[in-house]
Structure 1
Amino acid sequence: MKNNILIIDDDADLSFVISDMLEGYGYKVTAAETAEEAFGLLSVRSFDLILLDINLPDSTGFEICKELRRVSDVPVIFASARTSESDRITGFDIGGDDYLPKPYSMAELFSRIKALMRRAYGDADEKKVISFGNVKVDISARSVTKNGAPVALSLKEFDLLSQLCEHAGTAVSKETLLSEVWGAFSSVEPSTLAVHIRWLREKLEDKPASPKYIKTVYKVGYILEAEK
């Protein structure tokens, strides 16, 4: 389920109210009050949606969105007391997906988040099971079996496999995998990705040295050849 949300807003009280509301609906919410704090979180974690204020103590939401769009297409909702037409146009022009003027009701915010999540990720309740060879990956349940027996994967291994499964049959760039699994502003080296791919092959492929399913795409990244 895509349910990890990052709130970037210097109004701690408002962030608390929003977090309390969203967590009641099953979302996992993290809050940052400054751009520096936000970039620190984005360097080590991936988020499924960002609720972004414009006026921040050390930067602007516009600048954060510009930097974010260099490496990630995570959905962004601008939420700001700046409601001029020029601000809204700027928000959309630099990559924002929605613009919600303050003050707003929690009901409208929740509705906007659900709508954007649906557009970005489809039906979150849809059961997603990917099969390749004798392996089955249940993305919703975060479980993997090989020949019917459970396979133990680390958090990063499963997140990496999940990304490959989500794009089964399509080559996924190294940059995309690093951004989605390790965080948009992570300094993780590409060699770390290669090591995790090797570990996945060792656990899931019958012949890891000659992978049949988790394949390297020269000068691009990796592809999972699977039956959806």
Structure 2
Amino acid sequence: MKHIFFVEDNLSLINGLSFAIKKQGYKIDVARTIFEAEVLLANNKYDLVILDVSLPDGCGYDLCEKIRKTSKVPIIFLTAADEETDIIMGLDIGGDDYITKPFKLAVFMSKTNALLRRSCNFIQADTELNSNGINVQLLKGEVYKNGEQLDLTTSEYKVLCLFMENPHIVLSPEQILSKLWDCNENYIDKNTITVYIRRLRTKIEDNPSEPQKIVTVRRMGYKWNAVDGGV
């Protein structure tokens, strides 16, 4: 049975979502403060975290960053903070999806189920990716270039893994968005993808101004140019 952790202080929302989640056959724990959440996280293992941003004793972004220091558990932000900068921040610090209130319950449950399926597939997949001098330790969430560890944000890490898992395949910005975040383009647009790729190139390319690993395919998108044949 999948175990879901819901961090939210709105009692009516807690009751409604808890009922819907249990109806899907999942187990759920609930915390209404950062303090309660940290206690439960220290004593339980979860398959998914649903996290509000505004909590009585702190910010959900800070809790997300703490979780990401030790865990790759999928995280969905469920919040009324709907500015583009809020959404980008939530995804960039480690969120796997970002849903704004008000929301449709059917859409929320569909995204939850999809994220749990992808998480299961990720655990069952190969434990390493190797190509172009880049080594990704999937179970540890660590990336190395020629043996030296790189400091990547969660979003940069996701983009890199997607490219390395699909060598020589042109990926459009829309495909990257749909595969990584299940987000509507109204929230995370093509310019955001461009920013992530530019940042990533500065860290993995020998010469970022003339990229050889992540190459741009004019009017189509980007692809991972596996010059060494690695995958």
- Correspondence for 2:19: 20
**Structure 1 position 12, deviation (Å):** 1.7
- Correspondence for 1:45: 44
- Correspondence for 2:54: 55
Q: Residues 27-64 of structure 1: CA distance to partner in whole angstroms, max 9, x if unpaired? A: 00111000000000001000000000000000111000
- Correspondence for 1:69: 68
In the alignment, the residues of structure 2 paired with residue 13 and residue 27 of structure 1 have an alpha-carbon distance, to the nearest angstrom, of 19
Q: Which runs of 5+ in 1 are unaligned?
A: 124-162, 174-228
In the alignment, the residues of structure 1 paired with residue 127 and residue 100 of structure 2 have an alpha-carbon distance, to the nearest angstrom, of 40
Superposed, which structure 2 residues align to 1:140-151 within 5 Å?
A: none
Quote the RMSD (CA, aligned, Å).
2.3
Superposed, which structure 2 residues align to 1:126-165 within 5 Å?
A: none
Q: Kindly name which structure, 1 or 2, has the bigger radius of gyration based on alpha carbons.
A: 1
In the alignment, the residues of structure 1 paired with residue 69 and residue 126 of structure 2 have an alpha-carbon distance, to the nearest angstrom, of 24
Percent identity between matched residues is 37
- Correspondence for 1:79: 78
**Structure 1 position 169, deviation (Å):** 8.8
- Correspondence for 1:95: 94
- Correspondence for 2:214: none
Q: Which runs of 5+ in 2 are unaligned?
A: 129-136, 141-231
**Structure 1 position 72, deviation (Å):** 0.3
Query: Could you tell me the TM-score, scaled by structure 2's length?
Result: 0.53
Secondary structure of the structure 1 residue equivalent to 2:78? strand
- Correspondence for 1:146: none
**Structure 1 position 75, deviation (Å):** 0.1
Q: Residues 66-107 of structure 1: CA distance to partner in whole angstroms, max 9, x if unpaired? A: 000000000000010000000000001100000001011111
Superposed, which structure 2 residues align to 1:174-189 within 5 Å?
A: none
Secondary structure of the structure 1 residue equivalent to 2:54? coil
Aligned length: 131
Q: 1:59 to 1:28 in 2, by over 3 A?
A: same
Q: Deviation above 4 Å: which 4+ runs of structure 1?
A: 166-173
In the alignment, the residues of structure 2 paired with residue 117 and residue 44 of structure 1 have an alpha-carbon distance, to the nearest angstrom, of 21
The structure showing larger relative contact order (alpha-carbon pairs under 8 Å, at least 6 residues apart) is 1
Query: Could you tell me the TM-score, scaled by structure 1's length?
Result: 0.54
- Correspondence for 1:36: 35
**Structure 1 position 122, deviation (Å):** 2.6
In the alignment, the residues of structure 1 paired with residue 25 and residue 120 of structure 2 have an alpha-carbon distance, to the nearest angstrom, of 17
**Structure 1 position 13, deviation (Å):** 1.5
Q: Relative to structure 2, which stretch is displaced further, 48-57 or 12-21? A: 12-21
Q: 1:98 to 1:167 in 2, by over 3 A?
A: closer
- Correspondence for 1:177: none
Q: 1:37 to 1:85 in 2, by over 3 A?
A: same
- Correspondence for 1:181: none
Secondary structure of the structure 2 residue equivalent to 1:90? helix
